[in-house]
Chains A and B, each alone.
Chain A
Amino acid sequence: MTAYIGRRLLQMIPLMFGISLVLFALIQAAPGGPEGALLQGGRMVDARMLDAYRHRLGVDKPVPEQYVRWLGAALSGHLGVSYSSSQPVSKMILERLPATLELMGVSFLLAALAAIALGIFSAVKQYSAFDFLGTGFSFLGIAMPVFWFALILQMVFGVWLKWLPISGTHTVGATSFSDHMEHLVLPAAVLSLRYIAGWSRYLRSSLLGVLRADYVRTARAKGLPERVVVGVHAVRNALIPVVSVMALNLADLFSGAVITETVFAWPGIGRMFVQAMLARDYPLLMGILLLGSVMVLIFNLVADVVYAALDPRIRYD
């Protein structure tokens, strides 16, 4: 297993290199170039100051040299200095990262558990009322824009029913855990909805296929109760293809977090990303984008490992 993970890690290096090229190109392509923020900030600068600034940023060097310098800095954790706050980008990201990881983690767990339960029941009770409802719900969940669902939930649970808070991580002055949890409910529901919908549908069809497999008939022929036939023999096989989809979607989860955090004023890196965009704070944007890409690669690795753990046939090839 260790060798397997090592091999996967090695395979990530060229991918990481490609990503770095894209991100560097994005920085170069920024309107007004990397130094453009000074001008866009509305500050008056004369030519001498601009030259000095360009020199300090290193953008007066040839492009390949700039790339090498940038890559070297990025590898050692130096993602540059934010235009808007003059703080190191890495420090800003690290401050906001826990909130995002919390939201993503809770949403992922919620989505996985709900989708697995929903998918299993829909498949076992195929064509039942529950199955039809589940399928309808899935189609809705996939077709609904995340931010609109967020707005509707805010309207219903926050404004009309006044059951739940609609922004932030806690009420001003409050520090209790339950208060924090209440703030988490709506964002997590919004972020997980789409994945509950997608994964449950996928698991349903995967499980329907597996339930027709010969080895499921073998399990039944042994006299095992249906609960064991489905739970032990079928679900594990059906989950194998679903896991890779889950990992691919974890990347989207980060995209979803950008919108969800913005709507619910959740102080994570997603919201910071939108703020950085509005402020044309390119170093911060690139830092977050880089982090997002690294997260995607890590999620893919985790998926591979889980995949290997679920399917004994993977381990030895």
Chain B
Amino acid sequence: MTGSRSGPDATRGPARPDDSPPAASDDGRPLLEVRDLVVRFDSDAGPIHAVNGVSWSLAPGGSMAVVGESGSGKTVGMLSLLGLLPNTGRVEGGEAVFEGRDLLRLSPAEMREVRGGKIAMVFQDPMTSLNPVLSVGYQLTEGLRRHRGLSRRQARARAAELLDLVGIPDPHARLDDYPHEMSGGQRQRVMIAMALSCDPSLLVADEPTTALDVTIQAQIVELVKRLRTELGMAIVWITHDLSVVAGLVDRVAVMYAGMLLEEAPVTALYAHPRHPYTIGLLRSMPTLDGPTHTRLPSIEGAPPDLRTRPTGCPFAPRCPWVVDPCRVERPSLEVVSGEHRSACRRWRELDALEAMEASP
């Protein structure tokens, strides 16, 4: 039944399908390019404007974090690319070109080839994301048998390798376990193994550490870092927590109210945030060298109401440096330098504004 006669050893490691070797990226084309993505949800109270015209791109093997609070559209945006939105949600516009094809216009069958095969996802809550009534081995081998056409035995051997790869001891025995027999951290490792099973060229991790204990969080982050260097796939890491992304990804995109407010290489973002929202996020982050026993500052005000589309800058109601034009006109992403873009019309003044605030 195997499509290409591939023995168990042919399936190991980061072997890629012939049509999408990483070398194909040498022409400089991005792996995934999202343009003007718009997603709405239907609700009794009218449409919810979840994602409002977001654009970004990711190079093959590149890595990016999408940061934002809940309701910022960070997860919904990624789900919409894979056609995994709940029934009430729909893509209203935009395109997402992945390996030369627009994901938003694929047939259901084409989309299934992409899902799990080329783009894999790890979800937030490992306690609910694995099927409680199916064994871990079954859930791990499903994708392999479908996308790679492996036999039951080949898939099982590969599944054990994958469990070993993600650091689960005694992998052969654990294949027959059910999810409830594993800890949260182990389940998330299984989720990651499942996502990696078909050597995707893009791994989307949706807050994969949020539901876990702090020590386990660090382990999972380390695991993904290691796997990325070993396997070389691109990563989109969705999180509300700016502190986890340093050292994990190259670039950060900050989202708010379904819009992209700032996008920058991770070091530039930490050193010179060019958006008041990002500055607020960074300030509310605990630091090791900062003063202890002080309250962390939080961003004043409530998250936006997505039932109405904001006319101006979505952050204006909470922004300490808001000026009248912010409320009227939606700011566009301006290039700060190189790959650093900001959607704040006052990005040039931010240093001065911050200095003024520090010395009243």
Which chain B residues border A212 with CB–CB below 8 Å?
A: 86
**11 A-B pairs (CB sep. < 8 Å):** A212-B86, A217-B123, A217-B129, A220-B115, A221-B82, A221-B120, A221-B121, A222-B143, A223-B146, A224-B146, A237-B132
Choose, from A175-183, A249-257, A305-313, the stretch at the interface: A305-313
For chain A, the count of residues having a C-beta within 8 Å of the partner chain is: 24
A305 to chain B, nearest CB (A): 16
Task: Encode A221-236 as 1/0 by CB contact (under 8 A) with B.
Answer: 1111110100011001
A interface, CB within 8 angstroms of B: 212-215, 217-226, 228, 232-233, 236-237, 240, 310-313
Which chain A residues border B114 with CB–CB below 8 Å?
A: 223
Which chain B residues border A311 with CB–CB below 8 Å?
A: 132-133
Contact between B191 and A215, CB atoms less than 8 A apart: no
Task: Encode B188-205 as 1/0 by CB contact (under 8 A) with A.
Answer: 000100100000000000
In the complex, A31 Cα to B116 Cα: how many Å? 73
Contact residues of B between 109 and 123, Cβ < 8 Å to A: 111-117, 120-121, 123
Which 8 A/B pairs are nearest by Cβ-Cβ distance? A223-B116, A223-B115, A222-B116, A214-B128, A215-B131, A312-B178, A223-B112, A214-B129
Which chain B residues border A218 with CB–CB below 8 Å?
A: 121, 123, 129-131, 191, 194
Apart from the given pairs A222-B143, A240-B133, A312-B178, 13 other A-B contacts in the complex at a CB distance below 8 Å: A213-B128, A214-B123, A215-B128, A215-B129, A218-B191, A218-B194, A219-B131, A220-B84, A221-B123, A222-B116, A223-B146, A312-B132, A313-B132
Which chain A residues border B146 with CB–CB below 8 Å?
A: 222-224
B134 to chain A, nearest CB (A): 7
Is B164 an interface residue when CB atoms closer than 8 A count as contact?
Answer: no
Contact between B180 and A313, CB atoms less than 8 A apart: yes
Q: How large is the interface on B (under 10, 10 to 19, 20 to 34, 35 or more residues)?
A: 20 to 34
Select from chain A the residue with minimum beta-carbon distance to B111: A223
Chain A facing B: main interface SS: helix
Is B147 an interface residue when CB atoms closer than 8 A count as contact?
Answer: yes
Which chain B residues border A233 with CB–CB below 8 Å?
A: 131, 134
In the complex, A221 Cα to B118 Cα: how many Å? 11
In the complex, A312 Cα to B130 Cα: how many Å? 13
Task: Encode B57-90 as 1/0 by CB contact (under 8 A) with A.
Answer: 0000000000000000000000000101010000
B4 to chain A, nearest CB (A): 18
Which chain B residues border A228 with CB–CB below 8 Å?
A: 142
B112 to chain A, nearest CB (A): 4
Q: Which of B111, B120, B133, B142 has the most CB of A within 10 A?
A: B133
Contact residues of B between 221 and 238, Cβ < 8 Å to A: none
A28 to chain B, nearest CB (A): 49
A242 to chain B, nearest CB (A): 14
Contact between A222 and B131, CB atoms less than 8 A apart: no
